Chain A
């Protein structure tokens, strides 16, 4: 890399492209690495960071100023064996310089995500960045842009509530349970049914440190298998991320997350043990009956019993809702919570955009400083050169002490002149004004004219 560089971005995302197009645009790790190598091999190519998730594939490319990024990217994609045309079709969006950075900041802040405020995008961007750093040396703009994106994303997540509140059924189930029991570690959950939805919700409960999880299923083998799988996942810490819920530290985490299968015949007994019941069977008739729940409630001495029936048709008999101390919820309640949370997240967007604007202004300032550096360096070199000549002249005529004093004095003079010039350049109101000033400075003190004038 010899001169200044520019940033170019291409995105194929859920807003622009249907799933089948996004699938074609997807770059796996192997293709991403091949693309990095291909960009590095192209004349004028500096570095590239591809980001590919299920909802988007984005390519952030840094090239030398006088290189056409579109041509270079097309050639590099072809060389990497990736689907090329999709990035140049009507489903793709091309962005340059600050627009590209603004887009990256919005992506990092999850404003561009399909599920507004989802936390996974931050990890996905970091993974893409780490992969890129392993295989190439990103240029200064890409480095700074990604670092700025991580900072922006973090600020948006911590200073706003854009990631707050559950927006999936499984998380909403945990969030609702949390309205009853803050510290889940001292409570028992019962999962009735070993289907996919139930398993997902169970994973979230385990991730949130539920004390005991009982699994009951008509088929004891499936209950046992699911319990074993969950136990193993818990042990290996691979239950998945549940970061959109506040993590409440358990009193004794080592005692939490005990998973046990129970036979179907023990359902009533398991209901009596549980504080949280999650039912997701495929049964056509209710399996949790009023007498079962009444018996359970009798032993609870007023403690609330939280029942969540997300099965269709319902697993819990409708009369259960009338039993004192029982709080029965269904899928429509979870959807209502999700809707409320999404509304709250949308209200946070202006706040998030203010943060992005601040970070973008900082990035813009940095870019301007970067632009200024070569000219300022030339100016400094010119002044230093002038000073050396002057000091040399004095040294011939005067004592070394006098020459040293003149040298110190001129050094101070250069410092002041440079300081004043840089601060004047920084005060430029527009990019054009600044560029004009830089051009003038360059014209007067740049490499070419200097020798002519002296």
Chain B
């Protein structure tokens, strides 16, 4: 099992790199073969990455979300999945290299520096938590894609204003498509975020009986949960403006950019001022001290913990 985990860990950045190469080929040449091959390559990468995560989860007996580097890998997969969904619905591929490039960077960091470490973290072994965390990651990734496309919209709009008819003018899709991609990403993110929040609440109530120690740390009035609801409602409001009030163009895309910057800012502040909740390492220290498991660590000569910290 460890051999499979290691092989897949080495394979993944190479696959991402090959996919990135395909999307760059498409961006610079718009070659018909690249147009077909890039999506095929992306699908193969997603399949292999999913397999890698499943294998890793089976080996670790927990979700690989304990450290930021482990999280990077899941984020890379989430980026690819959400991007592919949007790409397929809008049929515009020329911006793929930006998303795949980011995913490659995340996976490269995860594969290069993350150490596969078996640890006793009951929180990450909970299926309820797995669904909640997975959906939340996908939702936030979709929001980041919405941000990306809104930024591209603003860049192209600026280029058109300046009458700059260079490579970006020739290769980027139309303003209309970029806007649809940005809005499409929000449309994808909102249901995911809603279900993630709902599952989180359900799981929290479920823990009251199953894990009282952990449940005592959780409250629906936690600032991070409240902040997430505010984010959800803010985006839902923006979407309603798009749908019912006809908000379009630069205004809508600026809103998407500021909304995501607000998400980043609020998340940073919440992590700074309320550091205990959603810190999985902390949770592992708090709950279920009854079943200590042996610490089997893949060589970590520098003794890095790779954890989120507490």
Q: Are B165 and A337 in contact (CB under 8 A)?
A: yes
Residue total for B at the interface (Cβ-Cβ under 8 A): 25
CB-defined contacts of B175 to chain A, threshold 8 Å? 179-181, 304
Stretch of B215-223, B244-252, B287-295 contacting A (4+ beta carbons < 8 Å): B244-252
Q: Are B165 and A301 in contact (CB under 8 A)?
A: no
Interface members, chain A 303-331 (any B CB < 8 Å): 303-304, 324-325, 327, 329
Whole-angstrom distance from the CB of A157 to the nearest CB of chain B? 11
Interface members, chain A 177-208 (any B CB < 8 Å): 178-183
Q: Are A302 and B251 in contact (CB under 8 A)?
A: yes
Stretch of B6-14, B153-161, B301-309 contacting A (4+ beta carbons < 8 Å): B153-161
User: Counting CB contacts under 8 A, is B30 at the interface?
Assistant: yes
Q: Are A325 and B32 in contact (CB under 8 A)?
A: no
CB-defined contacts of A183 to chain B, threshold 8 Å? 176
Q: Are B246 and A301 in contact (CB under 8 A)?
A: yes
CA distance A300 to B245 in the complex (A): 11
Stretch of B67-75, B137-145, B166-174 contacting A (4+ beta carbons < 8 Å): B166-174
Q: Are B170 and A344 in contact (CB under 8 A)?
A: yes
CB-defined contacts of A294 to chain B, threshold 8 Å? none
Interface members, chain B 246-280 (any A CB < 8 Å): 246-252
Residue total for A at the interface (Cβ-Cβ under 8 A): 25
User: Counting CB contacts under 8 A, is B163 at the interface?
Assistant: yes
Main secondary structure of the interface of A (DSSP, over half): loop
Stretch of A158-166, A223-231, A391-399 contacting B (4+ beta carbons < 8 Å): A158-166
B29, B175, B177 interface centre (most CB from chain A within 10 Å): B175
Whole-angstrom distance from the CB of A245 to the nearest CB of chain B? 13
User: Counting CB contacts under 8 A, is A23 at the interface?
Assistant: no
Chain B residue with Cβ nearest A321: B161
Q: Are B174 and A181 in contact (CB under 8 A)?
A: yes
A159, A181, A182, A337 interface centre (most CB from chain B within 10 Å): A182
Q: Which of A164, A300, A333, A336 contacts B248 (CB 8 A)?
A: A300
A165, A179, A180 interface centre (most CB from chain B within 10 Å): A179
CB-defined contacts of A301 to chain B, threshold 8 Å? 245-249, 251
CB-defined contacts of A337 to chain B, threshold 8 Å? 165
Interface members, chain A 333-367 (any B CB < 8 Å): 333, 336-337, 340, 344
The verdict on A182 contacting B173 (CB below 8 Å), with A301-B251, A302-B249, A302-B251 known, is yes
Interface members, chain A 111-136 (any B CB < 8 Å): none
CB-defined contacts of B30 to chain A, threshold 8 Å? 161, 164
CA distance A76 to B246 in the complex (A): 70
The verdict on A182 contacting B251 (CB below 8 Å), with A327-B161, A337-B165 known, is no
CA distance A179 to B166 in the complex (A): 13
CA distance A179 to B248 in the complex (A): 16
CB-defined contacts of A344 to chain B, threshold 8 Å? 170
Chain A residue with Cβ nearest B30: A161
CB-defined contacts of B245 to chain A, threshold 8 Å? 301
Q: Are B163 and A180 in contact (CB under 8 A)?
A: no
Q: Which of A164, A180, A329, A340 contacts B176 (CB 8 A)?
A: A180
Chain A residue with Cβ nearest B241: A301
Q: Are A179 and B246 in contact (CB under 8 A)?
A: no
Whole-angstrom distance from the CB of A244 to the nearest CB of chain B? 14
Whole-angstrom distance from the CB of B47 to the nearest CB of chain A? 29
Whole-angstrom distance from the CB of B18 to the nearest CB of chain A? 22
Tell me the A residues contacting B by CB distance below 8 Å.
Answer: 158-159, 161, 164-165, 178-183, 300-304, 324-325, 327, 329, 333, 336-337, 340, 344
Extra 17 A-B pairs, beta carbons < 8 Å, given A302-B250, A336-B163:
A158-B32, A161-B30, A164-B30, A179-B160, A181-B174, A301-B245, A301-B249, A302-B247, A302-B248, A302-B249, A302-B251, A303-B246, A304-B175, A304-B249, A327-B160, A336-B165, A340-B166
A-B contact pairs, 27 of them (CB 8 A): A161-B30, A164-B30, A165-B170, A179-B160, A179-B169, A180-B175, A180-B176, A181-B176, A182-B173, A182-B177, A183-B176, A300-B249, A301-B245, A301-B246, A301-B248, A301-B251, A302-B247, A303-B246, A303-B249, A304-B157, A304-B175, A304-B249, A327-B161, A333-B165, A340-B166, A340-B170, A344-B170
